[in-house]
A = this chain, B = another copy of it.
Amino acid sequence: MARTLLDRSDAVRALADVFRRRGFEAASLSVIQQDTGMGRGSLYHFFPEGKVDMARAVLAEVQAWFEEQVFTPLRTAEDASVAVAEMTGTVRDYFLSRRRVCLFAVAALGGELPAHADAVRTYFSEWVDRLARTLRRGGVANRDAAALAVDAVAAIQGALVLARALDDDAVVVDVVARVEERLLAALS
């Protein structure tokens, strides 16, 4: 890990990688120190409230990324089919390059913690909502749009679980391809 000076957003990126590899609970400060190359002093300088703060910052960064790269394009693209194809391609590449881990899913399945419950709910409900709206804009009936959107997000999240369980990227590639196919079929 780079010894060169890190600013806060470098730190967040490094932390995201640690959390993806070890999970939130199992990533102890010692591990975080080693894997990010930052000392305790620096960590508590950037994240005064400690680990909870680090997790919050990482989730916020992921949320912002999806906002910009996925949710906004879904809203602004003029053609619904183009928007859908963009979404599937973007999220597939994102998760394949991020160890096939969705940190919001990890947070959702991880323990009793309503620590990040709001952030988790926001992420998923916004994703489903934006997709459903896009489908409606493309002429899909209200009811069908909602069902298709939930199914699509669920399929992608399930693919991530399976891909990790079977240690196989192809599950993500294949499932996402069929999700896209189904969504485009509904739009035609």
| A residues with CB within 8 A of B | 21-23, 25-27, 101, 104-106, 108-113, 120-121, 123-125, 128, 147, 150-151, 153-159, 161-162, 164-167, 171, 174-175, 178
Contact A154 B125 (CB under 8 A): no
Contact A159 B154 (CB under 8 A): yes
Additional A-B contact list (16), CB under 8 Å, known A26-B111, A104-B165, A120-B165: A23-B110, A25-B26, A26-B112, A105-B161, A106-B110, A109-B161, A109-B164, A147-B178, A154-B161, A154-B162, A155-B155, A157-B157, A157-B161, A157-B162, A158-B159, A158-B161
Contact A125 B26 (CB under 8 A): no
3 closest cross-chain pairs (CB), A and B: A154-B158, A158-B158, A23-B111
| CB pairs A–B below 8 angstroms (17 shown) | A22-B112, A25-B25, A26-B112, A26-B113, A27-B111, A101-B109, A104-B165, A105-B161, A108-B165, A121-B165, A147-B178, A150-B162, A151-B155, A153-B162, A154-B159, A154-B175, A158-B159
Residues in B whose Cβ lies below 8 Å from that of A167: 121
Contact A124 B162 (CB under 8 A): yes
Max chain B Cβ within 10 angstroms of own Cβ: one of A22, A123, A153, A155: A155
Distance between A148 CB and nearest chain B CB, rounded to angstroms? 9
